């Protein structure tokens, strides 16, 4: 199973003072590297899906955006985290740059970027999540058939994007990406443990995948948009994926490995339960009885070694006590065994 978390960029991964046009403007929000690392450990690909209408508005170029994203990756790498891919949409219908001034199915709230990422990487959208701070992020996730989490960051900065359409309800609402990751990992654990069926509604609402890509093949550095999905006069780059280090991609566990890991986890859990069940009152009582039986036998032996007539009768008494206790211990052990 191939699953991913689609993550909005601005106000979800990095601070958003407005249109960031310079790598110096990239400032990670607190803890995002921890969230990304925990999601990766849980088997999710971390894929950024971000609207970048600043390109269509002529505020910066795609080259500038590449530098901004390189800086984003560098800052995350410094903290041991890594993004699997970044998809962006440069289009906007009111753009001032002709090349990008158009409607596009890649622009959220349309789900084009998510569908393309799923198609490029063979993702099961019903197992994927969309996390973002705006209603359009949530709508895009829902239209792609993903579960959704809305981030409401507490900040002094203007939160224009957070004041938008409240009619779009996410599955969860959190304060930051770390909380979102915690929910996603928890829900994934629950699904893995209990094998809950995929919600039928999620499948029913999932639109068809982008037909231009082949599943399982590594995505090219730049991929033209599907012509039939956009009114743009020219196909343009709508996605950016970083060359993937082969180790991390290849390290993704196969279906067999996942099944084996699941079985191993189950066996370990059963083994732990078995150890707990092995403790019982009967065994404890039997052990205590046996200990006292040995002590009584020891006293009896000491008395016999004394060669005293009076002590022989005491030794006999302790010997009888020892035999009785041993008999009781054996009784307890037998009861325990037959339970």
Q: Interface with Mg ion by CB under 5 A: which residues? A: 8, 10-11, 133
Q: C-beta of 119: minimal distance to Mg ion in Å?
A: 23
- Is 10 part of the annotated catalytic residue set? yes
Per DSSP, the residues of 265-314 read HHHHHHHHHHHHHH--HHHHHHHHHHHHHHHHHHHHHHHHHTT-HHHHHH
Residue 47 or 293: the one with the smaller Cβ distance to Mg ion is 47
- Which is closer to Mg ion, CB of 52 or CB of 119? 52
- Rank residues 161 and 322 by Cβ distance to Mg ion and give the closer one: 161
Distance separating alpha carbons of residues 311 and 313, to the nearest angstrom: 5
Kindly state the smallest distance separating residue 16's Cβ from Mg ion, in Å.
Answer: 6
Q: Write the DSSP string, 60-129.
A: S-HHHHHHHHHHHHHHHHHTT---SEEEEE---TT-SSGGG-S-BTTSTTS-HHHHHHHHHHT--GGG-E
Residue closer to Mg ion by CB (options 12, 223) is 12
- Residue from 8, 16, 84, 120 carrying the catalytic annotation: 8
The whole-angstrom separation of Cα 111 and Cα 143 is: 6
- Minimum Å gap between C-beta 18 and Mg ion is 12
The number of beta carbons lying within 10 Å of the beta carbon of residue 169 is: 11
Q: Using CA atoms, how far apart are residues 169 and 248, in angstroms rounded to an integer?
A: 34
| CA–CA distance, 165 with 142 (Å, rounded to integer) | 14
105 included as an active-site residue: no
In the complex with Mg ion, which residue's Cβ is closer, 131 or 329?
A: 131
Triad 54, 58, 62: Cα angle to 5°? 65
Find the catalytic residue in 10, 16, 84, 137: 10
**Residue written as token pair 């009582």:** 285
Measured from the CB atom, the residue of 126 and 131 that comes closer to Mg ion is 131
Q: Residue 32 Cβ, how far from Mg ion at the closest point, in Å?
A: 13
Residue 94, C-beta contacts closer than 8 angstroms, at least 6 positions apart:
56, 57, 101
Measured from the CB of residue 188, what is the shortest distance to Mg ion in angstroms?
24
| Minimum CB distance to Mg ion, residue 81 (Å) | 19
Three-state DSSP at 229 gives: helix
Residue 245 DSSP SS3: coil
Residues annotated as catalytic are: 8, 10
């Amino acid at each position: 199973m191939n699953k991913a978390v689609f993550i909005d960029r601005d106000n979800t991964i990095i601070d958003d003072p407005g249109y960031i046009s310079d790598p110096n403007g990239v400032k990670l929000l607190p803890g995002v590297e921890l969230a990304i690392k925990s999601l990766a450990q849980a088997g999710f690909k971390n894929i950024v899906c971000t609207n970048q209408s600043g390109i269509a508005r002529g505020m910066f170029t795609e080259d500038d955006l590449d530098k901004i994203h390189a800086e984003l990756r560098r800052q995350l790498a410094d903290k041991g985290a890594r993004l699997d891919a970044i998809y962006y949409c440069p289009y906007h219908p009111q753009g001032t740059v002709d090349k990008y001034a158009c409607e596009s199915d890649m622009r959220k709230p349309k789900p084009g970027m998510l569908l393309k990422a799923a198609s490029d990487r063979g993702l099961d959208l019903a197992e994927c999540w969309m996390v973002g701070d705006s209603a359009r992020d949530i709508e895009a996730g829902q239209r792609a058939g993903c579960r959704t989490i809305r981030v409401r960051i507490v900040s002094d900065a203007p939160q224009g994007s957070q004041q938008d359409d409240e009619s779009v309800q996410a599955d969860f609402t959190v304060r930051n990406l770390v909380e979102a990751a915690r929910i996603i990992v928890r829900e994934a654990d629950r699904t893995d443990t209990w094998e809950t069926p995929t919600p039928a509604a999620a499948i029913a609402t999932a639109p068809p995948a982008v037909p231009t890509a082949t599943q399982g093949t590594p995505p090219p550095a730049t991929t033209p948009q599907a012509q039939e999905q956009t009114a743009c006069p020219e196909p343009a780059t709508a996605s950016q994926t970083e060359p993937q280090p082969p180790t991390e991609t290849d390290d993704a566990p196969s279906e067999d490995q996942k099944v084996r890991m699941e079985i191993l986890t189950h066996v370990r859990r059963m083994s732990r339960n078995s150890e707990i069940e092995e403790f019982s009152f009967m065994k404890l009582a039997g052990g205590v009885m046996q200990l006292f039986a040995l002590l009584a036998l020891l006293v009896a032996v000491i008395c016999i070694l004394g060669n005293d007539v009076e002590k022989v009768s005491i030794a006999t008494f302790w010997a009888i006590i020892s035999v009785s206790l041993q008999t009781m211990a054996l009784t307890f052990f037998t009861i325990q065994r037959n339970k």
